[in-house]
């Protein structure tokens, strides 16, 4: 790979769990969902509302009366992908409603695609429904149009994203998320827990907690108390994680935390991860972005890389099995060779388990565009190559050390040849590696959690033999 990876694209909802045939004359809609898991949750909410109003979901353009395109607008490359998806939907269907992050720039979209029916911004669910009603009037049949208790899911049945807040209070110069999605707006803790409980009751075995800034959850609510069970729970990430981890035995439920900024109170999460009776996984997804204090200052991010190494050491002292994943930007404006070498040296010390890396891109509206000394494309590419070589070597060594260990895995897929694609507690879906079981999978089902003896390791993936089932 020589450029930034494409966004995840569950195009026209291929993993949609609704298999019922549409009733005669039922209005139907297609869905293209681009971008991050947070956008995927938005798509699920839109489809759930539409199903409740009697609309059917079409798996292709031809069978849809109209198509909703949920766009991404974080990077210029993502904007281009969104425009391509809109154009494809217009060509194949003709009736297109646009929503999502790029929807915050309606003039930009209409400049390229004037034939679209409507444009709405991110998480503007009511406006999307109004646009759908205008294009395809609803025709509900309350005796036929049944909706699952958990709503419409675009992920497999055994895992689900759980969005706990919208927006972000950070002012990172390379990011326009606050402009598109607004400031932090946390959901009440009891509402999150009720949704999670319904998902677990419906058979979900892995909850993936997502937001733009998971560590800041509840700050806007002043960490208010919420009624839950026979007591109260604070809208605070530590309290929320603790309660989520109690929704099922740790042998049957996984709770995975994403987008956790390394605030000091994150250390209070680590004992939960070390507790064998709590379902919160020993896994932190933390967007460090860089290590050099001057680069972090130009990014308008906390410049405390030395303290970050101390925090990592403390986390590992409390929970030796913790998996740390992060993302980084190389080639940020003004990045010198010595600053980049600082990042490589920091990686040697931090020894992160899972790492992603992006080459810096200008984003329309981002303050970083105006910074001096932009790094030439060939230098960004060369640094990306060197960074990934370093990250790959660390990953390979860490995975090799797991050969011979017994690990719990969750089964994501079993192909026609009986090969099971699984994930360990160290692996989030779509972004991390896999563990493959290529024999002895008879009787295994998607969603099973099984113990596996690791017998082979690669650069990013593992192979093993199933030992016991849970």
Binding residues for [4Fe-4S] cluster: 36, 72, 101, 168, 172, 175
CB burial class (10 A; 0-12, 13-18, 19+) of residue 107?
A: exposed
**Dist. CA 104–CA 175, nearest whole Å:** 14
Consecutive H or E run containing 326: strand 323-330
| Residue pair 259/269 in contact by the 8 Å Cβ criterion | no
Q: Give CA 284 to chain center in angstroms.
A: 13
**Dist. CA 420–CA 410, nearest whole Å:** 10
Name 340's Cβ contacts closer than 8 Å, sequence gap at least 6. 330, 383, 386
Half-sphere exposure of 152 (CA within 13 A, CB side): 29
| Residue pair 190/231 in contact by the 8 Å Cβ criterion | no
**Dist. CA 417–CA 34, nearest whole Å:** 31
**Dist. CA 378–CA 367, nearest whole Å:** 23
Give the residue among 178, 156, 152 at the shortest CA–CA distance from 167.
178
Which tokens is 258 given?
């994403």
Give the residue among 186, 154, 172, 204 at the shortest CA–CA distance from 34.
154
Beta 28-33 vs 206-210: how paired, if at all? unpaired
- Whose tokens are 């706990």? That residue is 164
Consecutive H or E run containing 285: strand 280-285
Per-residue exposure over 4-23, b if at least 16 CB sit within 10 Å of its own CB, e if not: beebbebebbeebeeeeeee
Angle, alpha carbons 103-106-107 (nearest 5°): 150
Binding-site positions read: 36, 72, 101, 168, 172, 175
| Residue pair 360/385 in contact by the 8 Å Cβ criterion | no
| Residue pair 400/426 in contact by the 8 Å Cβ criterion | no
């Amino acid at each position: 790979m020589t450029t930034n990876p494409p966004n995840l694209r569950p195009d026209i909802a291929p993993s949609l769990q609704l298999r019922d045939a549409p009733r005669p004359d039922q209005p139907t809609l297609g869905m293209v969902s681009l971008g991050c898991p947070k956008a995927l949750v938005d798509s699920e909410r839109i489809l759930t509302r539409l199903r409740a109003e009697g609309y059917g979901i079409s798996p292709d353009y031809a069978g849809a009366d109209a198509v909703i395109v949920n766009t991404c607008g974080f990077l210029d490359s993502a904007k281009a992908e969104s425009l391509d998806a809109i154009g494809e939907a217009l060509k194949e269907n003709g009736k297109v409603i646009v929503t999502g992050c790029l929807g915050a720039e309606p003039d930009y979209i209409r400049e390229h695609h004037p034939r679209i029916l409507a444009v709405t911004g991110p998480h503007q669910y009511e406006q999307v429904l109004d646009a759908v009603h205008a294009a395809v009037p609803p025709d509900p049949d309350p005796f036929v149009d049944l909706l699952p208790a958990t709503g419409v899911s675009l992920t497999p049945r055994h895992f689900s994203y759980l969005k706990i807040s919208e927006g972000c209070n950070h002012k990172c110069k390379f990011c326009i998320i606050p402009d598109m999605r607004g400031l932090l707006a946390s959901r009440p803790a009891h509402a999150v827990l009720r949704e999670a409980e319904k998902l677990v009751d419906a058979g979900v075995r892995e909850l993936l907690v997502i937001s733009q800034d998971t560590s800041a959850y509840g700050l806007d609510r002043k960490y208010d108390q919420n009624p839950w069970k026979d007591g109260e729970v604070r809208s605070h990430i530590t309290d929320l994680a603790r309660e989520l981890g109690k929704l099922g035995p740790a042998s049957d439920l996984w709770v995975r935390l994403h987008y956790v900024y390394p605030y000091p109170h994150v250390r209070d999460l680590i004992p939960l991860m070390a507790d064998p009776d709590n379902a919160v996984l020993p896994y932190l997804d933390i967007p460090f972005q860089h290590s050099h204090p001057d680069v972090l200052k130009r990014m308008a991010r906390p410049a405390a890389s030395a303290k970050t190494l101390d925090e990592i050491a403390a986390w590992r002292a409390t929970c030796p099995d913790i998996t740390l994943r992060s993302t980084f930007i190389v080639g940020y404006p003004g990045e010198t060779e010595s600053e980049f070498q600082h990042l490589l040296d920091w990686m040697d010390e931090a020894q992160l388990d899972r790492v992603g890396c992006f080459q810096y891109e200008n984003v329309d509206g981002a303050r970083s565009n105006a910074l001096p000394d932009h790094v030439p494309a060939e230098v960004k590419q060369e640094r990306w190559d060197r960074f990934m070589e370093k990250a790959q070597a660390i990953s390979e060594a860490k995975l090799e050390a797991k050969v011979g260990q017994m690990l719990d895995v969750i089964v994501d897929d079993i192909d026609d040849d009986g090969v099971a694609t699984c994930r360990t507690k160290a692996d989030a879906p779509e972004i991390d590696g896999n563990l493959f079981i290529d024999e002895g999978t008879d009787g295994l089902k998607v969603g099973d959690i099984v113990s596996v003896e690791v017998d082979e390791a690669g650069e990013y993936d593992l192979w093993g033999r199933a030992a016991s089932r849970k």
